[in-house]
Every structure is written in structure tokens, then in C-alpha cells.
Amino acid sequence: MFDKKATRKPFRRFIAGAAATAALAVASVVAVATPAMAAPGGCPSGQTCLWKDINYTTGGVDWIYFVYTNGANDLRNYQWSFNGTVNDNVSSWYNNGNTEASFIFDNLNFQGQLSYLPIKFGRDNLGNASDRATSAGFRFCLNNPTSAKCV
Ligand SMILES: [Ca+2]
């Protein structure tokens, strides 16, 4: 009887360790979109900000970003201050809005959704969706793509 118990104990410890590892793996998946205490780069309240590079930076600084209050149906119309068009040239973004989720799209006029962010969430690296955004907007523009507010 004593010997049987002694052989089972290490097996139970292994199960406990595997469960803890699984819990950590779930936590890191949830953390793909992370809320921040303060918006990166001073992104204004009520707006969504896009950065050219990962980690909420553009050319190494965090305060150069493209910002919208409602949306932009054609990012070809906007230039980074020193280097090229915003179109197909965004790698991180933050939704500092107060009422709606925000979206980026591969194509003009809010077509071909690439990513979305709940209120006060950001993605510091768009990964496979990097360098693809061609239009972007809050849910309002998704539902009202021809509104003058979404140009
Ligand atoms: Ca695109």
C-alpha cells in the first residue's frame, strides 16, 4: 500500500504542472490586444491613431501618427510627414475612442476587414495585417461608408 502511493505522487505533480502551463498559454493568447493605462504617444481621447511602424512609433517616435475621429475611406490621400503614403503603410494602432469599436480594412471604402479594436485597446504589431490598411474607421463608418464624416 505504501509503495503504491509513493509511485503515484510524481504523476500527480506532473498533471498540476501541465495545467499551470496550459493556463499561462491561454493568458498569453488573450493578451494579443492589450489595454493600456494611458494611450500611447498621446493619442487623443475619442480618436483612433495609426502608426507607420510597430510599437506605436513612426520613424522611431511615438508622437507621429495618423488620427481619425470617424474614419478615412482612402488612406492614399494622406502622407507620413517624412516618408510616403499612409496607405499600405501602417503596423500598429490604438483605439482611444469612447463609444465604438474601430476597424482597419485592406481596401477602399471600408471593405476587406483586416483587424478591429475594442474601445481603449491597441495592437503594437499588426503582424500579417501590417502594411495593408487602405481605409479605417469606427463602426459608424462601417455602417455609413458614404458619410462625409468618413472621408
Ligand atoms: Ca491595402
Q: What is the distance in A from the centroid of ligand 1 to the CA of 24? A: 35
Domain boundaries, the chain: 2-31, 35-150
CA–centroid distance, residue 8 to ligand 1 (Å):
57
86 CA to centre of ligand 1 in angstroms: 10
> Do strands 111-117 and 71-72 pair parallel, antiparallel, or not at all (unpaired)?
unpaired
Alpha carbons 151 and 147: distance in angstroms, whole number: 7
* Strand ordering across the sheet containing 92-95: 34-35, 121-123, 92-95, 48-51, 66-68
* CA 121 – ligand 1 centroid, Å: 22
- The residues near 104 (Cβ < 8 Å, ≥ 6 apart) are 50, 90, 93, 113, 114, 115, 116, 129, 133, 135, 136
Neighbours of ion ligand 1 (CB under 5 A): 88, 106, 132, 134
**CATH code for 35-150?**
2.60.20.10
Per DSSP, 72 falls in state E
> Over the stretch 67-117, which tens digit does the pLDDT of each residue have?
999 999 999 999 998 779 999 999 999 999 999 999 999 999 999 999 999
- DSSP codes of every residue in 52-68: SBTTTBBTTBSS--EEE
Q: Which of 148, 45, 48, 42 is nearest to 102 (CA)?
A: 48
Condensed to tens digits (0 to 9), the pLDDT of residues 36-70 reads: 468 999 999 999 999 999 999 999 999 999 999 99
The pTM score is: 0.76
